Structure 1
Amino acid sequence: MSKRLQIALVGAGLIGRAHLLRIEASPDCALAAICDPTEAAKAIAAERSVRWFPSQREMLAAMKPDGAIIATPNALHVPGAIDCLEAGVPVLVEKPLAESVAAAQKLVDAQARSGVAVLAGHHRRHNPIVKAARRIVGEGGIGRLVAVNALFLIKKPDDYFDVAWRREPGGGPVLINLIHDIDNLRFICGEIDSVQAITSNATRGFAVEDTAALIFRFSNGALGTATVSDVTPSPWSWELSSGENKAYPQREGHCYLIAGSEGSLALPKLDFWHYQDKAGWWEPLQHESRGVEPIEPLAEQLRHFCAVIRGSEEPLTGAADAARTLAVVEAVAEAARTGATVTPAPLRVPSGTGAA
């Protein structure tokens, strides 16, 4: 068996500790160091008898791990990742890749200069449900893609908003939650060329939106909609219907409906609907379940990151790919603010670098 890779954890907050648990359970890697200026992080490192550093720069001056996971606040993702790339250390960067497309472009450029691998932490792409849906749609299993409907309808508890920034613009479901669903839709259905959006704060009355309705146009000609709200008791979200995160009580419900010219697909159960022979609304629809065996996505993402470090697999989500998801999210915010149809900002991807 190959030697276990030494992975540094940069940022030991909530998501950082989730990565830490997967590292400790992994047969592929081990924890090399924790980089985080807090006393809590220093204590976590001491408990595990691993080296602690206030920052990745101090860590890189003292050692060179095989890889690093960047799980810091969003605005620190790009500088932390660039420090590692310049030292020749591959990175797994938590989503969103950056706080803005402009910042993400800096990381895309740095990856191109260094040639060192970047894996973006859109962990839902590692879920076998999402991979199966991408395969079915990509192989023409539902014919030509026609329309897509995505739902994120959930109720956040009142005390969630005791944190002031969650009541202000930028702290709502469009920028905080929708990025996951947009990335899933891009991965399954293809690139998004334009967006329209309208938001409302009528239920809670905070400055931030609590509900939004969106329209997408995909590059392949399909149309899509997304309905987003964090004020309603509902099973219609990836969080509650997929069972992916055990912190959420799983409930029966669909979150993505994907319609094609020859059939349709409902996620997360991968229910497949089609006509057997003659097609038309008078005819009986046939139903099949395309369900798959579950895999814990964060653990699978870590296994994949180790394979990327070793050079046996290419990053499932590279820096430029994750930046395109961020560009769609920014376009949604602009469309909601202006009422216009908005095209996601273009990304400059250096040719021949593998950055796409």
Structure 2
Amino acid sequence: MLKIAVAGAGVAGREHIGLIRQNPRARLCALVDSSPAAHAVAAAHGVPLFESLSDLFAASGLKPQGVILATPHQHQVRDAFACLQHFTPALMEKPMVNKFDDVVALRAALQFRAVPVLVGHRRRHSAVLAEAQRVIASGELGRIVSVNSSALFCKPDSYFSAGLWRKQVGGGPLLINLIHEIDNIRFLCGSSCGDIVAVQAMASNSVRGFEVEDSAAVTLRFENGSLGSLILSDAAAAPRSWEQTSGDDPAFARYADQDSCFVAGTLGSIAIPTLRRWQAKGEGSWNEAMRTDTLTPAKTHDNDDPSARQLEHFCDVIEGRCPPKVTVDDAARSLSVTLAIIKAVQTGGTVKPLDVRDNKVEAKSQTRLGATKRTLKPTQVDASTLAEIEGPEAS
């Protein structure tokens, strides 16, 4: 069995520990966390507790074969460097960092250490997304015209009363939820449309009136000229989000007949996650009914849970069976698009993700609402509170 250590005893870390205990290929060998609460977690699982990765790697006879980094985002690059220094494969939770400069430093370090680093965009391990991506990449939908993604859900009042930061700058859906949708879109359409090259966005806090946004609308342009749109809100009583439509997480109510993404091409379209497909007849006139069917994803794993599949993939990466499915470079592109969207909200203009990656624009990861709490105002922002965020799929 592979010896895997988990750094971080918070929500994400405990979830990873549970997955390790369920996987016959892996064994939890240590926990790394300096908080007092970590002692109980380590004791419950019968593993040694270390205050830092340096202490873990210094312990004789306990070198892990892999490390899962579920630490605050401000520490992830530091912790990844420790893994690289000791030639230990790592799984980094997303969004990986809170400053793009840290991505640059990590990418540079990877040039000198042939150590695999997997970034934890768990949806990439979904069989449903894999099947949709296969259909889109095959060309059977023709040239992709547009992609529309929806992340509409309602966080209850108790969610906000549980943590004051959730009402403040950095606690809204732009930081917590947006990067997952962007990564979905890039994964689905990247091979057909190229990467996202320009974004525009608006945000609002008009529903709750908190300092932080509760809704946002985004438009995207791909390399080949295809367009995309994304509507995002944590104040909408609606069933159209990945969590509520996919059934990946039993903590969320599921609406199996609903979709959260729709990709349209010149020859057909596909809805996700139901995998309903429409195919044009002849020249594709709207006067003629299209053929319709529903696809079934290929059964490649015994477990349909993307989180469990991600751990299985990490085990393969550790053993050298395959490269990481989500590399640091790939995850950095999703991060740059997300930061570009936040910048577009701040400025009201069009922002190129490439300019974020090349440091041509200052891409800070927070947006403050104006005094009226009705419209967004560009202002000085600070990225430090990103490290404190633990929301749905943020951890």
Q: Name the TM-score class by shorter chain.
A: over 0.9
8 Å contact from structure 1 (residues 320, 347) kept in 2:
no
1:248-259 equivalences under 5 Å are 248-251=252-255, 252-259=257-264
- Structure 2: how far apart are the matches of 1:127 and 1:211? 26
Secondary structure in 1 matching 2:30 = strand
Which residue does 2:177 correspond to in 1?
177
8 Å contact from structure 2 (residues 339, 356) kept in 1:
no
1:146-295 equivalences under 5 Å are 146-162=145-161, 163-190=163-190, 191-251=195-255, 252-277=257-282, 279-292=284-297, 295=304
- Structure 2: how far apart are the matches of 1:146 and 1:203? 32
Task: Determine whether 1:340 maps to 2:349.
Answer: yes
What is the deviation of 1:277? 3.9
- Structure 2: how far apart are the matches of 1:242 and 1:142? 22
What is the deviation of 1:97? 1.2
- Structure 1: how far apart are the matches of 2:283 and 2:202? 40
Task: Determine whether 1:314 maps to 2:318.
Answer: no
TM-score scaled by structure 2? 0.85
**1:258-291 deviation digits (Å, cap 9, x = unpaired):** 0011100100011100124452111112111013
- Structure 2: how far apart are the matches of 1:277 and 1:291? 25
**1:146-183 deviation digits (Å, cap 9, x = unpaired):** 10100010000112122121112221111110110100
8 Å contact from structure 1 (residues 155, 231) kept in 2:
yes
- Residue identity opposite 2:206 in structure 1: A
Secondary structure in 1 matching 2:111 = helix
- Residue identity opposite 2:120 in structure 1: G
Q: How many residue pairs were aligned?
A: 345
Which residue does 1:142 correspond to in 2?
141
- Structure 2: how far apart are the matches of 1:33 and 1:61? 13
37-46 or 52-61: bigger deviation: 37-46
What is the deviation of 1:346? 5.5
Which residue does 1:96 correspond to in 2?
95
Which residue does 1:353 correspond to in 2?
none
- Structure 2: how far apart are the matches of 1:296 and 1:111? 30
**1:227-264 deviation digits (Å, cap 9, x = unpaired):** 11111111111010110111001013110010011100
- Structure 2: how far apart are the matches of 1:101 and 1:138? 30
156-165 or 176-185: bigger deviation: 156-165
Where structure 2 has 5 or more consecutive residues not aligned to the other structure, the ranges are: 359-395
290-299 or 193-202: bigger deviation: 290-299
8 Å contact from structure 2 (residues 7, 69) kept in 1:
yes
- Residue identity opposite 2:247 in structure 1: G
TM-score scaled by structure 1? 0.94
The Cα RMSD (Å) is 1.3
8 Å contact from structure 2 (residues 281, 288) kept in 1:
no
What is the deviation of 1:347? 4.1
Which residue does 1:296 correspond to in 2?
305
- Structure 1: how far apart are the matches of 2:267 and 2:356? 33
- Structure 2: how far apart are the matches of 1:157 and 1:216? 30
- Structure 1: how far apart are the matches of 2:284 and 2:137? 22
**1:36-57 deviation digits (Å, cap 9, x = unpaired):** 1123222222222211101111
What is the deviation of 1:325? 0.7
**1:281-312 deviation digits (Å, cap 9, x = unpaired):** 11112111013257110110001011011111
- Structure 1: how far apart are the matches of 2:9 and 2:282? 56
Which residue does 2:81 correspond to in 1?
82
Task: Determine whether 1:61 maps to 2:58.
Answer: yes
What is the deviation of 1:127? 0.3
Where structure 1 has 5 or more consecutive residues not aligned to the other structure, the ranges are: 349-356
